[in-house]
């Protein structure tokens, strides 16, 4: 393991009275294993609790941060820190005492980042997609080598050891890096998200047009694998695509919603990237060429066209968008997952007229949004970060650069990341008893996104209001070998009603026994 000659740290003492299982995302030993590199963040995973990011960074002086709690380390020579970690276990808190040669002991206290919520029904649905070979996308001869199932399972156990769904979390990230990403993007972008319906209505005409215009190597409407990824047959005309789409649009939309929810959970659980290592991230847009710049504005909840009417194309000319909801100072919320990279050159290779430059909020130690997914990518040499749906940004500035071919101007939009809007925490359902018995706390807490209407991804509930499952979804769950949680052992609310009923029965029995005893005494 490469070391920073000026700063190393090792967990030498561990006080873990509750016996929480512990892992580091690098796969190395938790204790007595020296770590430390310039601008590197290591993620400690605490079973039943969440994540502790230990980040070393240097901007002329050495600092160490634990989940954002920072401490400056001052020394004239090389620094070797010994960390004593205490996990009380009765709450998501930690205490770290740092010691080193010639250094005064320092104590840092903070909170463990909670695990992301994961819906059991989402897992069942995704398993059906795998079993029916929609996931991962079939490998073509011209594709990169990719990863086999065994490699994905191994990476899942390393990166998501806290979850009994580690394989599914690894697979959804891997599948995102394949042509499947188009299926995850189009139904999210082309939703009328300001209409009070659940699920949101789709702009089916625009989706059909985007599928028909696909012209990316072998990924065309004439290719059986490509069209099967949309649950459709090869098409030889736009009318053919438009005829097939209404028959499968509900399934297509649900598959995208489920995939993006799982992708969000996986991205949140991956190790963080220090800001000083990557102060900016770049994205060439629109990354689906056939969408064109006129549909870039449809990627945001703030676009007024989301109010319909149904049938009105979800598009807006880029200058109009830049003068309204994308003007500097505006706050925007994404409807889809965005891909970023760490160089302008790489971003421009995917640009179709727009370049996004993102920076974190001032004071951030790591990128809390923007997860590094290259380790799980089909292309191991392609640097990729993802921002999942409902990521929020403040528009900082507009610029025009002459970066395009033949002097073509590129519209540059500078963005600053913002925290997701959440309110409170609610308990999430767990799966069947045999799954819940495993040492996992998936979905211990869930967060509700604060919007007037439930968003397309709605992290709190697996399919909107829980009653929006259509027949094909139920069939898919059963084909995946899963029982719906409420079929298996009732809803949480129903279970909560069992206790009052039991108390009533017991008290009635005691009262009857007392009456009989009094009667016999006479």
Provide the residue-wise pLDDT of the chain in tens; the chain has 522 residues.
Answer: 444 446 889 999 999 999 999 999 999 999 999 998 778 999 999 999 999 999 998 877 788 999 999 998 876 556 889 999 999 888 899 999 999 887 889 999 999 999 999 999 999 999 999 999 999 999 988 888 899 999 999 999 999 999 999 999 999 999 999 999 999 999 999 999 999 999 999 999 999 999 999 988 889 999 999 999 999 999 999 999 999 999 999 999 999 999 999 999 999 999 999 999 999 999 999 878 889 999 999 999 999 999 999 999 999 999 999 999 999 999 999 999 999 999 999 999 889 899 999 999 999 999 999 999 999 999 999 999 999 999 999 999 999 998 756 667 899 999 999 999 853 322 232 333 333 333 333 333 323 233 333 344 444 333 333 333 333 344 444 444 443 333 333 333 334 444 455 566 667 777 777 766 665 555
Amino acid 412: pLDDT: 98
Amino acid 90: pLDDT: 80
User: Residue 286, preceding bond cis, omega within 30 degrees?
Assistant: yes
Amino acid 461: pLDDT: 35
Number of C-beta neighbours around residue 90 at 10 A: 8
Rounded alpha-carbon distances, angstroms, from residue 462 to 176, 258, 444: 20, 7, 15
Amino acid 38: pLDDT: 74
Rounded Cα distance between 364 and 368, Å, is 8
Rounded Cα distance between 257 and 191, Å, is 11
Rounded Cα distance between 45 and 20, Å, is 10
Rounded alpha-carbon distances, angstroms, from residue 32 to 140, 367, 424: 45, 27, 38
Which numeric CATH code is attached to 120-424? 3.90.176.10
Amino acid 462: pLDDT: 31
Amino acid 402: pLDDT: 86
Please state the domain extents for the chain: 7-114, 120-424, 493-522
Amino acid 7: pLDDT: 81
The neighbouring-strand residues paired with 282 are 341, 357
Angle between helix 204-213 and 181-189 (nearest 10): 150
């Amino acid at each position: 393991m490469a070391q920073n000659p000026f700063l190393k740290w090792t967990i030498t003492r561990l006080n873990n009275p509750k016996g929480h299982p512990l892992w580091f995302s690098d796969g190395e030993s938790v204790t007595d294993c020296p770590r430390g590199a310039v601008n590197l963040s290591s993620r400690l995973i605490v079973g039943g609790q969440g994540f502790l990011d230990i980040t070393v960074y240097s901007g002329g002086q050495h600092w160490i941060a634990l989940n954002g709690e920072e401490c400056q380390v001052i020394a004239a020579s090389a620094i070797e820190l010994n960390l004593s970690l205490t996990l009380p276990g009765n709450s998501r808190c930690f205490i770290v005492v740092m010691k080193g040669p010639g250094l005064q002991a320092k104590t840092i206290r903070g909170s463990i980042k909670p695990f992301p919520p994961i819906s059991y029904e989402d897992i069942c649905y995704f398993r059906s997609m795998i079993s029916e070979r929609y996931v991962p996308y079939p490998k073509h001869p011209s594709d990169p080598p990719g990863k086999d199932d065994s490699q994905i399972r191994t990476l899942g156990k390393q990166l998501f050891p806290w979850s009994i769904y580690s394989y599914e979390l690894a697979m959804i990230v891997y599948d995102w890096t394949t042509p499947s990403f188009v299926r995850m993007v189009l139904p999210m972008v082309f939703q009328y998200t300001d209409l009070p319906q659940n699920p949101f209505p789709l702009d089916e005409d625009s989706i059909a047009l985007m599928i028909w215009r696909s012209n990316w190597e072998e990924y065309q409407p004439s290719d059986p694998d490509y069209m099967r990824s949309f649950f459709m047959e090869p098409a030889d005309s736009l009318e053919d695509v438009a005829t097939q789409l209404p028959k499968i649009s509900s399934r297509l939309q649900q598959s995208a919603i489920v995939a993006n929810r799982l992708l969000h959970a996986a991205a949140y659980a991956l190790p963080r990237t220090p800001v000083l290592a990557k102060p900016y991230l770049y994205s060439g847009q629109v990354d689906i060429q056939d969408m064109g710049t006129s549909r870039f504005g449809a990627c945001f909840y703030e676009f007024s066209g989301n109010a319909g009417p149904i049938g009105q194309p979800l598009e807006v000319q880029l200058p109009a968008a830049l003068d309204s909801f994308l003007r500097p100072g505006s706050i925007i919320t994404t409807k889809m997952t965005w891909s970023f990279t760490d160089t302008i050159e790489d971003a421009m290779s995917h640009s179709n007229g727009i370049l996004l430059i993102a920076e974190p909020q001032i004071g951030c130690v790591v990128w809390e949004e923007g997860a590094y997914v290259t380790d799980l990518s089909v292309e191991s040499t392609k640097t990729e970060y993802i921002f999942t749906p409902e990521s929020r940004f403040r528009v900082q500035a507009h610029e025009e650069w002459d970066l395009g071919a033949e002097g073509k101007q590129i519209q540059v939009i500078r963005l600053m990341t913002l925290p997701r809007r959440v309110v409170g925490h609610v308990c999430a359902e767990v799966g069947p008893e045999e799954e819940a018995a495993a040492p996992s706390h998936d979905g211990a807490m869930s967060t509700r996104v604060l919007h007037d209407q439930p968003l397309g991804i709605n992290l709190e509930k697996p399919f909107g209001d829980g009653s929006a499952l259509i027949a094909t979804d139920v069939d898919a769950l059963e084909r995946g070998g899963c029982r719906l949680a409420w079929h298996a052992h009732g809803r949480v609310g129903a279970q909560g009603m069992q206790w009052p009923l039991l108390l009533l029965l017991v008290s009635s029995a005691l009262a009857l026994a007392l009456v009989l005893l009094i009667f016999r005494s006479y």
